[in-house]
């Protein structure tokens, strides 16, 4: 059933479809959605209107500024996954780029070049490398994430807004030699370090920057200290690696490279998933609620009163944080020390990923934002090389929370990432000025 919107100055109510037609400037195609998707679209629209202080659509007044706001809200209220989109992604060709050079995710010109190429492309072919579906993490009969919800989860600054570390790691002569065709951290270290195979969920929060960095640091700490198998607190990083020195905004986005620097210098306490208080100092605090909420406050004491260690004594430090640029350097560093944090451009087709090797955005896909993850390995299938990656969207998404993405996918993941080395004492503050200035 449609909710009827009462408009000021009228004697009748208008259906959602009529509202949509007016603000979109063209006939609204209700047949593009299932009944459940239409209800979700309308519910999302109402929710986002309230979030933006526009609870009542007050008629078709001659107010261009207000109309543009409502149009933008309407466009972002569409479910990010629909049955028609899934069918489209399973048939659409990959968006072709005019240049073959690698995509620098830290360069705004490169980011805009890819966005334009993808969003204006068209064409259908046979999608032979990956399968799209409607994962329950974002799509169910009772709740469907909107485009705005999806954008809010892309919390990593990319392009010229991104801040990177001054220190850079490059393989030395002692690292020379052929790299294997395949390497998987889960097989190599998974039995020793549970964090390597553990999949997190960032919930309704743009904290991917904190997840990608803290998770990789967690893995590397255990790899260097095999008896230390505890999970680290992604909430600690999200809430306390703030504007200074991380130039980060908690659930509203941040910089994974600067998070690595913060982790090594200030240390992170233990912490499990949302609702898990049995073994850790500070578990994750953000659930899957769509209603907006602020970033949980930074703490100086363990929220878990039953935890045996003090907050100060529970911190884990590193001895170095750095950038790793280039495919060979990423592989070599990963094989030597453990998973690497990286960032890439996400388009809406990626939300529907189920399995296979994601080869890059499909023609006509919409750009959502920058997303941070941890690369855990690499391999090859049907002559297509790929990264093996841990996402932070729970185990119901993708390949039990992981995904594979083509090396050279034009999403920017190959350009480079951030990483570091574990230590038992805080690293010195050398280089602080070059980061925060």
From CA 18, how far away is CA 63, in angstroms rounded?
18
Instruction: Let me know if 298 is a catalytic residue.
Output: no
* Side-chain half-sphere CA neighbours of 384 within 13 A: 18
Both structure tokens of 260: 């690595």
CA 99 to chain centroid, in Å, comes to 26
Both structure tokens of 168: 């850079």
Distance of CA 422 to CAs 171, 198, 419, 430, Å?
A: 18, 19, 10, 17
Are the CB atoms for 427 and 317 separated by under 8 Å? yes
Look at strands 317-325 and 384-390 and give their pairing.
unpaired
Annotated catalytic residue within 104, 304, 329, 391: 391
**Strands in 106-241 per DSSP E:** 130-132, 168-169, 183-184
- φ, ψ for residue 318, nearest 5 deg: -125, 175
Length of the chain: 437
Rg of the chain's alpha carbons, rounded to an integer?
22
b/e for 78-87, b at 16 or more Cβ within 10 A?
bbbbbeebbe
CB atoms within 10 A of CB 112: 12
Q: Which residue has the tokens 């994962």?
A: 135
The residues, any chain, with a CB within 8 Å of residue 404's CB and separated by 6 or more, are 130, 356, 357, 358, 379, 381, 386, 387, 388, 389
Annotated catalytic residue within 22, 211, 265, 371: 371
Instruction: Let me know if 26 is a catalytic residue.
Output: no
From CA 400, how far away is CA 398, in angstroms rounded?
6
Annotated catalytic residue within 193, 208, 222, 251: 208
Burial of 53 from C-beta contacts in 10 A (0-12 / 13-18 / 19+):
exposed
Instruction: Let me know if 371 is a catalytic residue.
Output: yes
Catalytic residues: 208, 371, 391
């Amino acid at each position: 059933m449609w909710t009827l919107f009462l408009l000021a100055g009228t004697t009748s109510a208008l259906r959602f479809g009529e509202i949509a037609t007016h603000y979109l400037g063209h006939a609204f195609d209700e047949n593009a959605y299932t009944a459940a998707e239409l209800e979700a679209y309308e519910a999302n629209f109402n929710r986002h209107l309230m979030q933006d202080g526009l609870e009542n659509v007050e008629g078709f007044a001659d107010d261009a500024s207000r109309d543009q706001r409502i149009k933008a809200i309407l466009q972002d209220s569409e479910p990010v996954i629909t049955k028609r989109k899934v069918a489209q992604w399973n048939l659409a060709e990959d968006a072709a780029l005019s240049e073959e050079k690698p995509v620098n995710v830290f360069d705004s010109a490169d980011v805009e070049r890819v966005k334009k190429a993808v969003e204006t492309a068209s064409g259908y072919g046979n999608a032979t490398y990956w399968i799209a579906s409607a994962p329950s993490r974002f799509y169910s009969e009772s709740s469907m994430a909107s485009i705005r919800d999806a954008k809010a989860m892309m919390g990593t600054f990319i392009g010229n807004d991104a801040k990177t570390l001054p220190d850079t790691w490059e393989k030395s002569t002692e690292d020379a030699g052929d790299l294997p065709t395949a390497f998987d951290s889960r097989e190599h270290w998974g039995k020793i370090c549970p964090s390597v195979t553990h999949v997190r969920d960032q919930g309704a929060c743009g904290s991917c920057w904190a997840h990608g960095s803290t998770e990789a640091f967690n893995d590397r700490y255990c790899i260097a200290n095999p008896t230390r198998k505890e999970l680290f607190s992604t909430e600690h990083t999200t809430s306390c690696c703030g504007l200074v020195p991380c130039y980060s905004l908690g659930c509203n986005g941040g910089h994974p490279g600067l998070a690595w620097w913060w982790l090594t210098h200030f240390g992170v306490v233990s912490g499990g998933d949302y609702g898990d208080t049995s073994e850790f100092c500070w578990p994750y605090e953000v659930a899957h609620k769509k209603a907006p909420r602020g970033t949980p406050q930074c703490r100086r004491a363990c929220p878990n009163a039953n935890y045996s260690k003090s907050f100060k004594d529970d911190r884990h430090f590193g001895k170095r944080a750095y950038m790793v640029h280039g495919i060979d350097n990423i592989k070599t560093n990963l094989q030597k020390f453990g998973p690497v944090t990286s960032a890439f451009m996400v388009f809406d087709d990626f939300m529907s990923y189920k399995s296979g090797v994601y080869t890059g955005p499909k023609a006509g896909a919409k750009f959502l934002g920058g997303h941070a993850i941890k690369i855990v390995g690499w391999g090859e299938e049907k002559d297509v090389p790929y990264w093996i990656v841990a996402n932070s969207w729970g185990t119901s998404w993708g390949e039990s929370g992981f995904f594979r993405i083509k090396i050279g996918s034009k999403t920017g993941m190959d350009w480079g990432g951030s990483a570091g080395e574990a230590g038992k004492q805080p690293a010195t503050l050398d280089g602080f000025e070059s980061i925060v200035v």
